[in-house]
Amino acid sequence: MRQNLNLCLLLWATWATAQPVVLKTSTILDGKGQVLKNKSIVIEGGRIVRISEAKEKVTYDLSGLTVMPGWIDTHVHFAVHFDANNRVEAGGAGSKETPERSALYAAAGAYATLMGGFTTVQSLGAEVDGGVRDLINSGQIPGPNVITSLRAIYRDTGTPEQIRAFVRKAKADGADVIKLFATASIRDGGAQTMSDEQIRAACGEASMLGLRSAAHAHASSGAKAAVLAGCTSIEHGALLDNEALQLIANRGVYLDPNFLVWHNYLENKPKFLGIGNYTEEGFSFMEKAIPQMADVLKRAMKLNAKMVLGTDAVAGSHGRNAEEFVYRVRDAGQPPMDAIISGTSLAAESLRLGDKIGSILPNMAADIVAVDGDPLKDITAVRRVVFVMKNGKVYKNVAH
């Protein structure tokens, strides 16, 4: 009898965990450019197993909403935050803040990002990212999937040989991607800073180790050197000329233009001004960079460059990453569907995760976001995230 009871409990437990989760939907944007009407998404074991006619027993009713793959932000800094005095703080070496407090802010930044509809982010990057990533992956704290460079390479990182050693150490320490500053910050004018040899060392070593490499580059010379060195993405690119864009497009390198970052700096100017290169001159460079970036984006679209969606989110932006979709459409004239593909399947492909995330298809991770409204008609619908699921687990559900 006792044995039978145990068997029954075991069978019940197996049946209960094997029960699929069914999302009833009226509109799905699948992340690859298709619109699916009146389908159910059937999920088992954290993965999408099928998209079916809406007849199955419903777990969550998302009809009336627009359902998309969980969004992907290819460029964030969730560790950068406003401190208790409302000033920007990045934590890490040289910080006045305790490491414990900085780590909590980083976890808070990651959580806000997930609640804003982003189920995967690439952080370019801070040492604390590794710990946050590991705790999120083991289910101990809530947040998006995190991919991180942990640190970055600059002109003064050293000789090409020292840069190669830096890349090997970053990989050994758990970096998922290599980040390099091929040019200066836009606040310092954006000219090439690393030599072509240094850039070749960084991206060449990364590629030998099977790692992607993301090159911060505004000036065309730095971007071209990065593409020719085998770097896999160009971050920002506010000053790119057509020759650089054509090279990016021809080589299939991903371009990661960002708008939110500068809008956010300008909106929160007093919280940054007076720290490092956040000078009046730096702010005027950023103001100019917004229309320059929009112009680059328009030219990049004509050349069919592969543009992913990244925000360069820092303090003030975490949780508002979706504003990047709005800037793309409103300021740069990108069609809404293209902007959404940019932040889903294309971003996934750029992270070499195109077979796991970024689209609503069988075998993909059940990373799902739903918004109130139709972003194809009004892109600001992306501000109204009402449902967030990651790997089949619901983190937000305020859908009615």
The residues that touch Zn ion, with contacts defined as CB under 5 A, are: 312
**Min dist. Cβ of residue 28 to Zn ion (A):** 32
**Min dist. Cβ of residue 371 to Zn ion (A):** 26
181 or 283: CB nearest Zn ion: 181
Question: In this structure, are residues 60 and 83 in contact, taking their beta carbons and an 8 Å threshold?
Answer: no
328 or 390: CB nearest Zn ion: 328
Which residue sits closest to Zn ion, CB atoms considered?
Answer: 312
Question: Which residue, 254, 267, 362, 246, is CA-closest to 320?
Answer: 267
31 or 310: CB nearest Zn ion: 310
312 or 323: CB nearest Zn ion: 312
Helix or strand or coil: residue 247? helix
**Min dist. Cβ of residue 313 to Zn ion (A):** 9
Whole-number Cα distances in Å, 244 to 175, 224, 225, 248, 278: 28, 6, 9, 6, 28
User: In sequence order, what are the residues at sequence separation of 6 or more whose Cβ sits closer than 8 angstroms to the Cβ of residue 203?
Assistant: 178, 180, 213, 215, 226, 229, 230, 231, 232
**Min dist. Cβ of residue 124 to Zn ion (A):** 5
312 or 324: CB nearest Zn ion: 312
312 or 367: CB nearest Zn ion: 312
**Min dist. Cβ of residue 339 to Zn ion (A):** 20
- 240-255: b or e for each residue (b if 16 or more CB lie within 10 Å)? beeebbebbbeeebbb
CA distance 16 to 321: 36
48 or 260: CB nearest Zn ion: 260
**Min dist. Cβ of residue 77 to Zn ion (A):** 6
**Min dist. Cβ of residue 76 to Zn ion (A):** 8
161 or 267: CB nearest Zn ion: 267
**Min dist. Cβ of residue 126 to Zn ion (A):** 10
Which run of H or of E encompasses 225? helix 220-228
Question: Which residue, 185, 241, 189, 249, is CA-closest to 216?
Answer: 185
Q: What is the phi/psi pair of residue 344, to 5°?
A: -130, -95
Question: Which residue, 390, 352, 397, is CA-closest to 368?
Answer: 390
Tokens 């793309």, residue located: 328
4-12: Cβ within 8 A, 24+ apart: none
Q: CA torsion 76→79→80→84, rounded to 10°?
A: 150
Does the N-terminal peptide bond of residue 125 adopt cis geometry, omega within 30 degrees of 0?
yes
